[in-house]
Structures are given as C-alpha cells and as structure tokens.
Structure 1
C-alpha cells in the first residue's frame, strides 16, 4: 500500500540536510565533539551498589531469561541484580549533572529483561526486551515511560506515556544504539517552571522514534518528583541485567550568541554572476531596521539581493559553526571581517573561532531562481551551545512535501534502486546517500511483510542486501517530482556488507571472494510467487539452477533463507555474511558485529568457515549436497 503521509515533511527534510527544489534546507551540520563517560572503574558514579560492575565482555543466552555472562576487563558497565536487590538504591547515578544534553550509548539487554535511562534522574526512556513486538506500548523498548499517580482511579494510574513510533529493537544479547537530544525544563528567577522538559529527538538503532515530545513532569520510578535545572543521569539497575558501553554526551550550558542592531538594504537586479561586493554602486530598492534575519524584508519575488549588517554578540569564546540556507539563490557570511561562508560554497556552512564580545556581522542573500520562493535561514552551534536557528523560521517554495510511504499490510514487493551507505567504491554504480559514499544496487527487489520484517534482494548477484524490522519503505526519493529511482528502508536495518555473488567457485578456502560475476555465467531468471505472494528467486550460476527462498521466522524474530542448487559445480561456496567481527557462540550460532545472529539450519553436511578479509571477516560454507538453509535473527 502506497500513501502520502499527512505529517509535515519540512522538519525531517531540514534535519536530513536535503534540498528539495523550492524548499529551504541547511547543509548537514558537523558533529559536535562529545565527552566519554569513563568505564575503567565506577568512579564516574555516586555510591554504586554491588549489582553494578565494570567488565570487558558480555553476552546473553537467547533461551534463558535475565541472563548475562561477563568477562573480565574494562569498557562495559553492567548490572546483574539478585532477586532481592530491588528498589531505588540499586539504580546508578552519574556524578555529572546536566541540563540540556545530547546522549549517545550502546546497550545490551538480556532476554525478558527491563531497564531504563533517566534524564536528570527523572524522565525515563525505557529499555526492554521488545523483540518481535509489532505495536509498541509505553512499556516497550525506546518508549517514554508513563507518569504515575496513585490517587487516580484503578487502571488509570499511568498517564502521558509515549510509545515509540515503531519497534526498532534488536534481539536480546545484541548491541543496540540509543541517541537522545533532551531539553531541560526552564525556570524563572524565582524558581517557577516556565517551560516543560522535552525529548527533542530520540533515535533507536538509527530510527527516529520520538520528536519534540513534551514532558509535563517526572515519569514513574524517577529519583524524585520535583523538577530541576540540573540533575544526574540515572541508569535503572534493579529490574534485570543490562550492559552499557560507549556512553558519550554533550552538555549545552553556555549562552547563545545574539544578533543586535540589524540593518538591511535591498537591491533590485540579477546578481547571480556578480560579486556581492560590487553591488554598492546601485541605488537600493529599500532599507531599514529588522529585529531578525528574514527574506520577507524584500517585496520582490525574484532578482534581488539583501544585505544585512549588524553586530554579533558572543558571550562564550570558541569555535562556532554557521549553517546558511538561501533558497533559490546563494548567500555569503562574514563575521569579525572574516569570510565564513563563501558565495560558491557547496556545503553552505563554515566555521569561525570567535572571541567574547561584539563583532561586525554581514550577510548577503542573492535570489535569482524564478520558481523558488524567497527563504533565508541561519543556524549556529558552538561550545556548549546546541545548534539553533538565529533567523526567522521560513518555509520555502511549493509548500511541504508529504513523504510517499509504501506500507506492507500484506506481502509486498517493490523494485527500485537501493543505496547501501558507507561503501566507497569506484564502480559505475557508486552513489551517495545523505552526502556520504554509498553503493547503488540497481536491480534491487524489496520484499515487505505484515510481520514487519523485510529484506532487499539483489537480482544481479543473487545476494541478500539487507534485512530490517519496522516500517517498510520511503519511496519519496523515487517518486517525488523527477525522482532518482531509489527507495529507503524505514525501520531498523541490518545490512549484509558489500553486495557480491552469493555463490562462487573458490580454488581454496584462502582464495579471495570475487567482486564481480565474471566467469560465473550468472543470469537472473526472475522470481515466482507462492499462494501468499512471497517470491522465490531463480537464477543460473556456474551451470547450476538455483532457487532462493526467504521467509519470515515465527514471532517476527528474523528471516530464514532456503537455497536449492541443482547440479552444483565442484568447489562451490556460499557467502552467508560479512562484517568487521564474526564471533561463534557455544550454541552453534554466530554473532555478526554484535548486531545480528546467524544460525545454519541445514548445511547439507558442510560446516561454516569464518575467515579474514581485507575489511574484517566473512562467514562462508562449501556447497556439498546442493542445499543450504540458514536464519538471520536480529
């Protein structure tokens, strides 16, 4: 099912750094330097109890509740509570106190375990084993937990919980990644609350699950029921085993720069090819004072230039990043007589190291694209200052673009280009995704299921490209206006590395896996649909006929792939997975980069082999009987 969402697309476009025709879009901001919470010992925390410890390794058993096994070392924080260790005293508080905060961490939850991260010790983002849940509740992984009032009627004690938009969880025992942008409550000089706390954005495993959620007060089981300007991080430690690593944060506690004494001058004319420094000899169309940067000071729809001058007041010295959006034209920025954004800058952002004090500010906006609506924006970030818009918030062009969403309420198939990020190649099908290198699969088939487990198949290589859980596809890049032919997964994605031939001949187990299909006589024969519209792919390779069938596992725990090879050639191998690290478990499964399990269900009498590659490791298996079945649990 294809639908256009009624939600406004503008903020998502801005945060993604896209420029959609007429709209105003900022370039991708540079990442802010983070501070790591040291995990060599427990000295970063207040009075830790015996359930908390520092370890060097941790793993879980998929078949055993509330069980984590640890190894000696450092770098991982873990709680292993005993049954009698329940209550607030077993939670862990940081010595660090924070107001506005960006927090990023990895965590591992045991099967059927429960924990939470509390901002300022008061507002909980839930951590829970929600593997396979289709419709998240406020108690599920990544949700913002309920507030609680014992005085309310029975059954209504919990209120104002915010379920995650979709279930982006991984299986227990796998490392999950959480990012939180938190805005603390605001208070007047006499201590009265003037603004509620907010979760500005929460991402789980790369999926945005909350945006701009207002929190009227502390959630259940917080360290206190009052609200404060500063408070510690709190990790819940009494509900079940959970491990944390790579805890990083940025505290925003410094005053924002201000623009004062802004003056503007508007000039009529097409300045597309002119140097903005040359417009001074032209009589202005209008001029005056403005309380804020905005394109609306010009009455002209096109072919004009606005020059702003004034003072930038900086209270906190340091390096600042400026991100300029100039819809339908271009812009320049000078601060303290230094050029920060040049007229031909593709990224439209720049940096400047500024002292404290008042300094000259100059910005020009040249509008010359006739069909675009005038729109001007400037965002600023700096030391202890979260990126904010120092200009008016202006929507550009033809209005908001509603994303074109492909749902999978039934088994659903969509063919498109599919870009795999993080793979830099000189191949003809190299691409870019959100400004980063990507590999473009040009004959991709994405298969969606109502179980909310989906996958992408590469018809050119017989390869499984990626699997994911949650919502199906965003086809906006494919179908909006001219489009680029690509679609994008909307859920929690587990990618399978550089797409290569699934089956190939090797002279030995040390021989390199080929990067192309040369010599394989590979030829796709399309796919057949079963009675439930699920495809079985067919192709020819090395003289063999191959049938390749992928199905969703029970309880949406992952996928199972069954491959049948008629008349397999000698020396034929299958590549099951690749990654930076592949670790075998005692259960016979393999963990890929700590983010997915692989289980060989039927190797046809052959055993898998983990072997090194130039980029890490890969899991391969010889084809002996013409049959291979394996599962990916994630």
Structure 2
C-alpha cells in the first residue's frame, strides 16, 4: 500500500484510502488560500470583540487575560462582559482543509465550527492527562434536551492524546473535513467526516464520522456547504497564519483501461507490437492484481484520464520492488524507483495516459498505486484500494505508566543524531531526553512516550521516536562552560572542559539525577515534572566550582524577556522561567545570528522549561 514507512491504519474501500493518503502523505499539494488579516473584510459583520493586532501576550497567572500590540496580522477575540459574538466567514465551504496557529488565554474556551455546525474545541487544556471531547482538539458532543440530566450529551470524540501547550504559546492545528453527501432529492446519503486533526505535530483525530451537528451549531440543518465560524462569546483567543483549501471539484476519472503483463521486469522501452504478453485484457480499475506473475514482470496500462478543471495536477506513483513511469499525452509525469511524485499542467477534458510497472525485487509484493490532486481536488486514489500492503509493521509503543527510562539514539532536526541519549518518561505525560555526551536536555514533550519500532523491529537501528508533541531545545552544546567574559563564545563540544559523564542515580520514585565532572567539579543534574504537568524543572548543583562557570540555558532564533525571570522562546513556542539563580543575573546575548540565554553559576541553579 502507499507510503509503507507509516503506521498501519485499518481502512476499507477506496474513499477510506484517500483519507489514509491525505493523512500520511505529509505534503501540501495545493496552493492554499491565506486569510488576509490586514482588516476584517474576510468575515461577516464582525462584532466589537474582534480586533487585529501585531502582537499578543497571555498571563500565566490570570484567567482570560490577553494583552495586544496595535497593528495587524493577528486576529484577536476579547469577549469582555457583554455583546460578544461569534465570527463567520463570508464564503462558504464544503470539503475543506484548514491550517492555522492559535493562542489561548489561561482558562479560555473557544472553538472552530466547520460549516458553522461541527465544532473542533479550542480550550486551555494544559496538563490534562485524560482529555475528553470538550478538551482542546476534541470534537464536541451532540446534545438532546429530551434525555435525563447527565445524559443529554453524546457522540463526542476526545483527542487521542493531549498535545496542548501552555496558555500564551502558539499552537498549530491542521483540520481536514469532508462535507455530508446528498442525493438528487436532497436526502443525506453520507455523514460528514473529520478526516483528521493534527495538533502541534500529533494526530489527535482520525477519520471520525459525524452523525449530525454538534452542540451549539448555528442550526440543525445539514447542507453541502456552510461558513467557517469561530466562537467568540466564551474566551480570549488569538489566531494567525490562517489558510483554507477548498475542494469543490469532482475527482479525475480513469476510463478505457487496458492492461498487458509481460515476463521480464528488466525490459526497457520494449516494442509492445512485437512483444507477446503473458496476459492482457480490459479492466475497470487500475490494479496490480492482473495476471499470475508475482515477480520479474512488466505491467502496462493504457487509458484516458478526465479532469474537469485546467491547472497543475500532482501525481504520486507507488511501484514496490521495482520501477515505473506514468505518462500523460506522451510526456513523463512521474518516474518512480519504488515511489515517485510529479507535477503536470493539464487542460480540462480527457487525456491519454500509459503507466508501466517493472518489478524485479522478489521480496516485495506487487502493489501498484496512483494518486492525484489538483485544483479543487483533494488527493484521491485512482488505483485499487485492496492491494497488498507489503506487511507494514505495527508500531512498538512504550507507555510511561510509571517513571520510565530508556536509552536510545535520538534524531533531532538538522540531521543531528544524539548517540548517548537517555529518555526519561513520566506518568504525568511529560517527558525529556538527556544527552550524556553534553550534559544537556535536548528535547521535551508531552503525550505519548516513545515509539521504539526503529530500535526493536527486525535488526533495528538503535533509535526511538517521540510519540507525543515535541519541543526541540536547539543544537546540543555543553551545559556548563568556563568563559573568560560574558561575551565569550560558547564552545560547541566538551573539548578542554575535562567533561566526564558519571551515569545517573535513581531516587525512590525512579527519577534520575545525572552526574558528570566538568573542570574538576562534580555536577548533579536533576529534572522533575512540574505539578500539573506544566513542564520540566531542572536543578543543577556544582560541588567546589571554579571561577567563571556559566550554564547554557537555551539558544534560539529569538528570546523575549517578559519580566520576573520569565522568557518566551522561538516566537512563543515555550517558556523558560528562572526560579533560583543564587543571586546571579541571567544574560541574554547575541550568538552567531541567534540569541542565547546563559547564567553564571556558583553552586546551584534551578530553572523550568514550561510548554
């Protein structure tokens, strides 16, 4: 089946596989329409609680507080006490993808209503261990007033895990929605579906069927299209980078399919007029299940493809165990070695095509696959959905039901591999990875603990993957360095520091304290989960420190000081809070085009990573 490196998802039928491909393809296939936020003209009669800003900030200690900076680019809801109303788009949408950033105030509540009727909940669910349908990223429940108290709500869908960030931090959400379907008489023949919701890089909703509007819908009627609606009367919330992709065109169709299967997969550009096929015939579907050969064969299809709109179309071709080519109008649209992707401009109408699959690797099962996307067309599977999936591996997931430690390689952005990483998991669903080579926390995350499939399946490669919403803390560097001045350059490695890792000790709760020598001093480095699952609190203690020691807290593209020892990092991605610096003053400085936060240390430093 397509894209075998991804986890298995149970599917049935062609439409389901379309969702599978859309969900896991991981690419934006169409130019998305960005919502202009230079004014509010995109929306219907916005009420006074809606405004534009160029900056926004929440208060971690006070409910429903957002402060703004005048300007544009950010849509802000400040509901106040009276007269706050929801916000509706002027345009209406059927099948649609929505991508946006949002930021909630502490204790805030909002929502995105697809077609004005089906709510994806936005809520301050920071630290919730077992999220419900009313939590952040949940699909809100339906409601029946005729039922007894406590039973009116039903058919809600909780997120798979809580991937929510702290109030005042930007969160990223991607929603894919399929409108309900109706016959010629207006009778509903298929329910609406939320194909997926991704929150902060984690899949939290997958192929959820919606039997009807959720509670708070603008009306109880279901239709093929409706406006997008943002809840405005419940809580303070901000949005930016809103993009909408509407799918309002019928998908391309194949016709006049003919196939031929030839023995010998190594054939290149054969003369089909003289080559005798092992089998041939007409077909109603593009499929690898033609003929009896399982290897060393060449399969060719010819036919026509009909598109309703002119524009650029993207095709993906999957030919496991071999090579292939997809041609339209005699031009190569895709060439593939196991898989490939290509773009081609097409006019509206029918176009002749041919597709060749040459299979030569005997351990792979035949599985010809072809998808298409284009103007107003969501990625669609043109080939048989019921083909071999080449035995994909069920993921090997590790849950931290108690304080858990697992050593593995960890891969960071930029091609960085941490080869001596210690992954520390917590039942509070907040976890981190400590790099024993540098004495640094390199990543923190919440939600699921680890996917150990690449480490434990078959021969393995020694690495594990984060199973939750991760925050990377920058390129690994030594945590402690001796500097000649506050502006001296931080070394990228431990050379000259006499750094020697001494392993770790576990306390009675199974939480590690990492120990290492640096400049002849013993360092104890312990991190614990903050109450309420708010993040990680790290305490570094140095015995008999030499003069001039500094702790590297973070290097980032930008760091903003908020006062009282609190900083936001990388455009409000997470917070750093200096809890106890022993009287030392944090230093925020430029470092090679980035910003760096360092702190002198005498004996002890405590700070928190809040996310």
Residues 230-260 of structure 1 show CA distances to partners (whole Å, capped at 9, x for unaligned) of 1111000000111111111111112211110
From 593, 609, 613, the counterpart of 2:587: 609
From 90, 115, 139, the counterpart of 1:144: 139
Is 1:392 aligned to residue 416 of structure 2? no
Q: CA deviation at 1:85?
A: 3.2
Q: CA deviation at 1:158?
A: 0.7
From 573, 578, 597, the counterpart of 1:600: 578
Q: Describe the SS at the equivalent of 1:477.
A: helix
Residue pair 1:27, 1:325 contacting (<8 A) in 2 also: no
Gaps of 5+ in 2: 1-6
Number of equivalent positions? 599
Is 1:338 aligned to residue 331 of structure 2? yes
Counting only pairs closer than 5 Å after superposition, residues 148-227 of structure 1 correspond to structure 2 as 148-227=143-222
Q: Describe the SS at the equivalent of 1:48.
A: coil
Instruction: Tell me, in whole angstroms, the C-alpha distance in 1 between the residues paired with 2:549 and 2:559.
Output: 22
Instruction: Tell me, in whole angstroms, the C-alpha distance in 2 between the residues paired with 1:140 and 1:30.
Output: 27
Counting only pairs closer than 5 Å after superposition, residues 425-574 of structure 1 correspond to structure 2 as 438-574=415-551
Instruction: Tell me, in whole angstroms, the C-alpha distance in 2 between the residues paired with 1:572 and 1:31.
Output: 50
Instruction: Tell me, in whole angstroms, the C-alpha distance in 2 between the residues paired with 1:26 and 1:378.
Output: 15
Is 1:402 aligned to residue 410 of structure 2? no
- Partner of residue 4, structure 2: none
Q: Describe the SS at the equivalent of 1:562.
A: strand
Q: 1:263 to 1:26 in 2, by over 3 A?
A: farther
Considering only aligned residues, what root-mean-square deviation do their CA atoms show, in Å? 2.0
Is 1:300 aligned to residue 293 of structure 2? yes
Is 1:282 aligned to residue 275 of structure 2? yes
Q: CA deviation at 1:10?
A: 6.9
Q: 1:15 to 1:455 in 2, by over 3 A?
A: farther
Residues 133-187 of structure 1 show CA distances to partners (whole Å, capped at 9, x for unaligned) of 0000111011000011111222111110000000000011111111101111111
Counting only pairs closer than 5 Å after superposition, residues 344-359 of structure 1 correspond to structure 2 as 344=337, 348-359=340-351
From 64, 75, 81, the counterpart of 2:73: 75
Q: Describe the SS at the equivalent of 2:289.
A: helix
Q: 1:596 to 1:26 in 2, by over 3 A?
A: closer
Q: 1:145 to 1:175 in 2, by over 3 A?
A: same
Instruction: Tell me, in whole angstroms, the C-alpha distance in 2 between the residues paired with 1:27 and 1:244.
Output: 26
Residue pair 1:610, 1:617 contacting (<8 A) in 2 also: yes
Q: CA deviation at 1:506?
A: 2.3
Q: 1:137 to 1:397 in 2, by over 3 A?
A: closer
Q: 1:540 to 1:105 in 2, by over 3 A?
A: same
Instruction: Tell me, in whole angstroms, the C-alpha distance in 1 between the residues paired with 2:381 and 2:115.
Output: 25
Q: 1:29 to 1:283 in 2, by over 3 A?
A: farther
- Partner of residue 254, structure 1: 249
Instruction: Tell me, in whole angstroms, the C-alpha distance in 1 between the residues paired with 2:371 and 2:30.
Output: 14
Q: TM-score, normalised by structure 1?
A: 0.91
From 23, 27, 51, the counterpart of 2:49: 51
Residues 365-394 of structure 1 show CA distances to partners (whole Å, capped at 9, x for unaligned) of 112211221111101111111111111114
Q: Describe the SS at the equivalent of 2:532.
A: helix
Instruction: Tell me, in whole angstroms, the C-alpha distance in 1 between the residues paired with 2:231 and 2:534.
Output: 26
From 360, 364, 381, the counterpart of 1:368: 360
Residues 100-122 of structure 1 show CA distances to partners (whole Å, capped at 9, x for unaligned) of 11101111111111000111111
